[in-house]
Structure 1
Amino acid sequence: MTMRKAVYPGTFDPFTRGHLDVVVQAATLFDELVVSVLHNPNKRPWFDVATRMDLIRDAVSSIDNVRVDSFEGLLVDYYRRESFACVVRGVRNELDFQAELAMAHVNRSLAEDLRIVFIPTSSVYGFVSSSLVKDVALHGGDVSQFVTPRVAKALLEHVSL
């Protein structure tokens, strides 16, 4: 029997309850789910890769078949190198789906064997984005309903600098 291993890649700056919702759903579909933090030098994240990985590990610690990794470069290269069966992408709304579908087409043009599963977040997280969470934190708002306690603490520390 082959093990079905999937990857859920993203910047995750920060990791939200919406991301966690996708992880919980995807973890039931695969033997192993790897939440992988993308190191993208073109973005200006609030948290470095190691910190984002640590915050995600804390959030997913109760899910046995989930582990956290990181990568840089093309997703298709990482996908092949790690022998993933599937890429998981979370979608919040129609705009997300359009953007994710365009990215899926690009990735499929680079690797025909790449398989992608879109998982909609639960409706309660349909509006939660990392950008929104950072904006609320930056202006002193309470982000606890959008992120885990560890992420909320990290955001508070970041904006206090």
Structure 2
Amino acid sequence: MQRTCLFPGSFDPVTKGHIDIIQRSVALFDKLVIGVGINSNKQPMFSAEQRVGWIREVFAGDSRIEVVSYEGLTVDFCRKIGAQFILRGVRYVSDFEYEKAIADMNRMLESSVETIFLPCTPEYSTISSTLVRDVIRNGGNVDLFIPKEVKW
């Protein structure tokens, strides 16, 4: 059986922290699907198409990685793509507490999907898409925080 993992997120925009988690986790699975979530209650800074395109460009040539956008419950999307695992990166204890609550809910909704937590490397622990968007809105330089493929 192919071990398929979903790494869901908004990736608005994708950061070097996201890239680190993806690069370190891809060897653990036969296939890693990066799911750019579309939440109708949130207004992203960048379109889903831009976000998917950037991630595809970063990982072009790696056949183990697929990038798609999706709407709805993450566990429903896992069923659709045959994913047995959900990958979540954690930076701090507060991230873990929040992510564990989601993982517990997902487990109750779909017991066959296991959530895997991967801590980020220390150099990326302070990077978040929220902070990057704030720097962008205020005209700051975000080159240290995002891959070179992210352009707007």
TM-score interval, normalised by the smaller of the two chains: over 0.9
1:62 CA displacement: 4.7
With CA pairs under 8 Å and 6+ residues apart, which has the higher RCO, 1 or 2? 2
Contact 2:36 2:69 (C-alpha < 8 Å) held by counterparts? yes
2:27 aligns to what? 28
Alignment of 1:69 onto 2:64: no
Matches within 5 A, 1:129-140: 129-140=128-139
State the one-letter code of the partner of 1:13.
Answer: D
1:68-102 per-position Cα deviation (integer Å, ceiling 9, x unaligned)? 01110111111112111211011111111111001
Q: Give the superposed CA RMSD.
A: 1.1
2:78 aligns to what? 79
SS at 1:131 equivalent? helix
1:8 aligns to what? 7
1:64 CA displacement: 3.4
SS at 2:22 equivalent? helix
TM-score normalised by length of structure 2: 0.95
Contact 1:16 1:129 (C-alpha < 8 Å) held by counterparts? yes
The runs of 5 or more residues in structure 1 that have no matched partner are 155-161
Alignment of 1:145 onto 2:144: yes
Contact 2:84 2:112 (C-alpha < 8 Å) held by counterparts? no
Contact 2:7 2:32 (C-alpha < 8 Å) held by counterparts? yes
C-alpha separation in 1, matches of 2:133 and 2:10: 13
Contact 1:20 1:60 (C-alpha < 8 Å) held by counterparts? no
Q: How many residues are aligned here?
A: 152
Matches within 5 A, 1:116-127: 116-127=115-126
1:28 CA displacement: 1.1
1:37 aligns to what? 36
Q: Which runs of 4+ in 1 moved over 3 A?
A: none
C-alpha separation in 2, matches of 1:50 and 1:5: 23
TM-score normalised by length of structure 1: 0.90
1:54 aligns to what? 53
C-alpha separation in 1, matches of 2:131 and 2:143: 13
Contact 1:4 1:85 (C-alpha < 8 Å) held by counterparts? yes
C-alpha separation in 2, matches of 1:112 and 1:85: 10
Residue identity over aligned pairs, in percent, reads 39
